[in-house]
Amino acid sequence: EPEVTQTPSHQVTQMGQEVILRCVPISNHLYFYWYRQILGQKVEFLVSFYNNEISEKSEIFDDQFSVERPDGSNFTLKIRSTKLEDSAMYFCAGGTSGREYFGPGTRLTVT
């Protein structure tokens, strides 16, 4: 059964540094998503991506965030200048219309 994969599983970075989180979605999915979940809190939508462009984004997804799907395979989330409050689990997902398949997540720790 195909799976969504994410790397790294855990990323530790210093405040102000740039991080890139990587995801390989299931190949036949058309929509891709990034979510975050701060420890002990609810899952929060960040952005959806379709046909090589952002289709929706939340208020969280400000100018510090960007997404790319450079080679038709990898789907990346970049945070330009990390803040302490960016520490969270970041989940990539693919699917459509609410039926989404999540990757195992990347735990981002900003120190």
Residues 34-53 that bind another protein (CB under 8 A): 41-45, 48
- Exposure of 3 in the CB half-sphere (CA atoms within 13 A): 5
Using alpha carbons, select from 32, 27, 26 the residue that is nearest to residue 46: 32
101 binds another protein (CB under 8 A): yes
99 binds another protein (CB under 8 A): yes
CB of 59 to another protein, least distance (A): 11
Q: Which segment (10-18, 21-29, 75-83, 100-108) binds another protein by CB under 8 A?
A: 100-108
Give the x/- contact pattern for another protein in 49-88, rule: CB under 8 A. ------xx-x------------------------------
Please, are residues 110 and 86 in contact by the beta-carbon 8 Å criterion? yes
Whole-number Cα distances in Å, 90 to 1, 49, 101, 108: 22, 15, 14, 7
DSSP 11: E
Residues 17-36 that bind another protein (CB under 8 A): 33
